[in-house]
Amino acid sequence: MSRNKLVRFSEMATFSNVIQPNLKEITIESFKYKGKWREEVFEKPNPIVLELGCGKGEYTIGLAEWYPQKNFVGIDIKGSRMYVGAKKALAIPLKNVVFIRTKIELIEFIFDTHEVDEIWITFPDPQPKRRWTKKRLTSSWFQNRYINILKPNGILHLKTDNFFLYHYTIALLNFNKVDIQFASENIHAEKMAPKEISIHTYYEKQFLEKGQKITYLQWKNPGKKINELNEEIYQKIEEQYLRSDI
């Protein structure tokens, strides 16, 4: 580990807006803030919005500045990136922002049933190989965990430059008869795009500079189990959107 990362990790351990629980604290001892985020973590009992795979926390911070009447939680396992967002949030300062360093797979141990109002998934790893399907943050495996922590009408957002992930997610939602509220293969060209789209992540800025299109999806918590795509549909998406060398 580089000296710079060690310095960041040491400093981040002192940040009041960063929670870094170990696996035992989450899965065995029952996470102390589960079901108590509004009362014990934030100053006000406002709606909770998550950014999954938050990286440097651009969306967590950007949304928190626009919506002081909501509470925001950035989740990621990579502490060096999280350090950037957490430090910025402290400097502003933002009282409605908290970061938690942990694996997204543990999300049901961290939040209680219907405790979350909204979820943003911003530029996740598309995990294109078939054997990695379960690892995609919009897979049926993950969505069935989001369903449990989201309120019945909770909103989910996906923003990505990866066309395979975008169309895989659309197909998955259509296959399960989930109502898609907004879908675009080039969201920055949409006149009616939600204003939140104007927030750019570190990687998004790089993609836009290269002329890449950014896709966006918005859908409601389906409130029912999501089943994975059948072989026929999955194969069509792979053939159409994956490169032959993947």
Catalytic residue numbers, as ranges:
125
Helix-strand-coil percent breakdown of the chain, rounded to 5?
Answer: 40, 20, 40
Pick from 200, 227, 228, 225: nearest CA to 214 = 200
Q: How far apart are CA 80 and CA 76, in angstroms?
A: 10
Amino acid at 117: D
Cis peptide before 93 (omega within 30 of 0): yes
**SS3 of residue 10 by DSSP:** helix
Q: How far apart are CA 176 and CA 109, in angstroms?
A: 26
Extract the tokens encoding 107. 């999300």
> What separation in angstroms does the CA of 165 have from each of 57, 65, 160, 169, 237?
21, 29, 8, 6, 10
34 close to 110: Cβ distance less than 8 angstroms: yes
Backbone angles phi, psi at 153, to 5 degrees: -105, 20
Q: How many CB atoms lie within 10 A of CB 208?
A: 14
Q: How far apart are CA 220 and CA 84, in angstroms?
A: 31
Q: How far apart are CA 119 and CA 215, in angstroms?
A: 16
